[in-house]
Amino acid sequence: MKRNWILLLTLLILAALAGAVYWLGTPRLNGFAPQNNALDVPVGAELRLTFSRAMQPNDVVQRLKIDPATPGKYHWEGNTLVFTPVQPWEVGTTVQVKLAAGARAGSWLPLPVIGDTTWSFSIRQPRLLYLYPSYSTANIYLYNPRTEKSQPVTDVAGGVLEYDVTLDGGTIYYSAKNGLGGSDIYRLELSEDSASAEAVQVLACQQAQCRAPRIAPGEDFLAYELTYAPALNQSSYPRVWLLPLSKEKSPDGKATVKPARDSLLAGDPAHQTSQPDWSLSGNLSFYDSTQKAFIVLDPRSGKNTALPNQTGEPGSWSPDGKVYVAPEIYFNTGGSAGPSSNLQPAASSHLLRFNVTDGTIQDLTQTENLEDTTPVFSPDGTVLAFARKYLDPQRWTPGRQLWVMRANGAGAQQLTDEPDYNHYDFAWNPTGSQIALVRFDQTAPTDLPTILIYDLPRSFASEAVTGGYAPHWIP
């Protein structure tokens, strides 16, 4: 009898152990992001699934269904599967996600996930940052196209001069006036529940002007223009500098960005340089007024390339970082055009496409009596938005209009037709479906500029903000 009790107790203990092993060994989906029923999810958001155990990768991917079907790339970070969409999620879409049962663990005891898990989230419309007002001390504001409402992001007494935004749209770097006659650079993280968080000073410039902040794609470098005050016995012309940054996670999970070392001069110390701009591949371009060229610099290797240019008007990088497009002065000499270092009465402005890889140059404008400026690549790199003005007496107008063309120069198409208005400050939204721009009446200099949003599918422009300027979309 005693032996039977011992045997029964042993069986019960073994069953309990087996149950515990099964319970602990059965993989579970511990969490996912975006959360169920999440609203206003950014168009570039990743889909993340975190499991209690390491999983068999193909087992999970085969059982994961996303509706609407979205192409993307998968990779693992420990026990977390990350899905990155190749193209932004469609604005306003509700995304349905289902992980079917059966995906197995990847190590000992390859038990399957039990039960299906389903959830959904909604993609928000990209929002627009801008500076306001144009007639007084400006600050950064955030405009929501869905609600057509704006809210302040900064409240700087001296005013914000310029700003830039990280790729994910979560952090702003801006230049603001200080009380010493100069301007400093700050870093500000945008929060979801409110328009702003506390700004952190990244660079104190005292009496010098630190302007045009441009943050590198990896947030490891900050480029900016520095101009010393005449009283400081330094060069009084602007020069582009590079500040190396280090990024760490604080205990509360927030990112802390600090200068890794002192700033480095980007160009020749004796040259005047300006207009820093980053390619997505991590190269820095800036204009060298002394050399009359855009300089393309790899900050890691120190290698640089010069792209000859007389105008110094702002250009645009293609998303792959292989092409830079910028305006150049051309003149008509007996029916043929060529670059000129001297402005002629019949001078035109052409858009030149510089291939940084092989050094070739292509004229995208190809026609005389045109003034093409301010090119901006679409997010997928297939289209250029630019400003055009006719220079011949029959078609001349006070203002430039918004045009688009394919990246190879073909298929140029006029989008706005307001002869008295200048159209500039073009900014594509992340999906490439809308262009924000500024419109200003050249014949009424006391009028305020207006930020417009041009919807390409509908061929329609709507007014967003009167008195605003420098628009920049964030996802």
Domain boundaries, the chain: 27-123, 156-308
pLDDT recorded at residue 108: 74
Q: Tell me, what's the pLDDT at 25?
A: 62
Contacts of 145 (CB under 8 A, 6+ apart): 125, 126, 127, 128, 453, 464
Q: Is the pLDDT of residue 192 over 90?
A: no
Say yes or no to pLDDT of 106 above 80.
Answer: yes
Q: How confident is the model at residue 343 (pLDDT cuts 50, 70, 90)?
A: very low
Quote the Cα angle for 249-250-254, to 5°: 75
In this structure, of 58-62, 231-235, 283-287, 335-339, the range with the lowest mean pLDDT score is 335-339
Please give the residue that has the higher pLDDT: either 191 or 154.
154
Task: Give the pLDDT score at 341.
Answer: 45
Comparing 135-149, 188-202, 213-227, the range with the smallest average pLDDT is 188-202
Stretch 300-323: mean pLDDT: 95
pLDDT tens string 224-258: 999 998 776 677 899 999 999 998 866 655 668 88
Range of weakest confidence among 50-64, 250-264, 434-448: 250-264
pLDDT of residue 340: 45
Query: Residues 275, 326: contact at Cβ < 8 Å?
Result: no
Interatomic CA distance for residues 213 and 313, integer angstroms:
18
Query: So what's the pLDDT on residue 337?
Result: 41
**Whole-angstrom distance, CA of residue 369 vs CA of residue 346:** 7
Q: Hey, which of 75-89, 190-204, 205-219, 251-265 has the most confident mean pLDDT?
A: 205-219
Average pLDDT, the chain: 89
Residue given tokens 């328009």 in the structure block:
195
Check residues 346 and 258 and name the one with the higher pLDDT.
258
Alpha-carbon torsion, ordered 403, 405, 407, 408, to 10 deg: -130
Q: Please report the pLDDT score of residue 146 as a whole number.
A: 83
Q: Residues 392-428: pLDDT tens digits?
A: 999 999 999 999 999 999 999 999 999 999 999 999 9
Q: What is the pLDDT of residue 227?
A: 95
Which has more pLDDT, 35 or 258? 35
Looking at residue 2, its pLDDT comes to 57
Structural fold of domain 156-308:
Neuraminidase (2.120.10)
pLDDT recorded at residue 12: 52
Instruction: Give the integer Cα–Cα distance in Å for 453 and 394.
Output: 30
60: Cβ contacts below 8 Å, ≥ 6 apart: 49, 51, 81, 99, 103
**Amino acid of residue 36:** N
**pLDDT value of residue 339:** 47
If one compares 233 and 11, the residue with the highest pLDDT of the two is 233
CATH class of this structure's domain 27-123: mainly beta
C-alpha radius of gyration, the chain, whole number: 28
Q: Residue 342 — very low, low, confident or very high, per pLDDT cuts 50/70/90? A: very low
Q: How confident is the model at residue 22 (pLDDT cuts 50, 70, 90)?
A: very low
Q: Are strands 117-123 and 38-41 parallel, antiparallel or unpaired?
A: parallel
Percentage of the chain beyond pLDDT 90 is: 74
